[in-house]
Structure 1
Amino acid sequence: MSKPMTIDIGISPSERESIAQGLAKLLADSYTLYLKTHNYHWNVTGPMFNTLHLMFEQQYTELAAAVDEIAERIRALGHPAPGSYAAYAALTEIPEEEGVPDAEEMIRRLVAGQETVARTARSIFPLVDEAHDEPTADLLTQRMQVHEKNAWMLRSLLNG
């Protein structure tokens, strides 16, 4: 078996490792939020059923694509992407769902989850800026835009 090729993309090995560790947390938060949102899509009831069922589907579908992008960026930096429930549970800041809350509580928990992912993405920026890692900066900016908008849209359902 041949030796792996050295990665020479202008980011040091230690910087790539630190960024990949941050992205692993982002991946874990995103995947956990995906599972929670998909769960709520299946189990939401009440007068806002149709609105929430469709909104949750849009959000979990977007998250499914996002986890792939995040994992691929980790791989491009030369590190393995975490891919198990145990790894995600150890890395995420989003609590695992237990039971089936009512629709309003689902919304509140998803707002908290969306904001958590946005904070995690934002927390990686100092490492990315220092390493001049523009592709990861672009990914993080896109993720923050999506999660901040989703949090606003969900919050608006409660503040109406």
Structure 2
Amino acid sequence: MKAKQQEFLNLIEKHKGILHKVSKMYMDNVEDQNDLVQEIVLQLWHSYDRFEGNSQFSTWMYRVSLNTALTYFKKEKKKSTHYTFLENIDRVDDHDPSEKETQLELFYIAVHQLNKVEKALIFLFLEGQSHKEIGRNLGITEVNARVKLNRTKDKLQTIIKTYGYEF
């Protein structure tokens, strides 16, 4: 039993970036992000026995993480504090970050205005997954993934432009 737990912990440590990226895409504040990471790890552990190794661990982890985030997001949506884009811009400017940090923060602020499926599409795209892999992870066709992703990228750009920013 100890070997299995250690193997699981090693895999989680190796791929912990996935946890943090998913949580940041779906939650506005650090406390909610940390809660979501804990929920994802719990779900990963509960389903670890069913991981058959037919795909890479990271691919399986993406799927479980996104499914958990989608479910968790529905439950926590009412509790979560959502800031408007402009309120967050003010917060970003107060810390005088570099241009790259500002752009990244604004990107995440804009992403929070997307629906849950659009967030998953953007996340998987940023992780370098192909349209085929995105479709497989979301249970849609490759063509549908391509169309939805293009629409989501356009929507994201429109949100950012609405507030006078362009990347």
Relative to the length of structure 2, the TM-score reads: 0.31
TM-score by length of 1: 0.32
Q: Which protein has greater RCO, CA pairs closer than 8 Å, 6+ apart?
A: 1
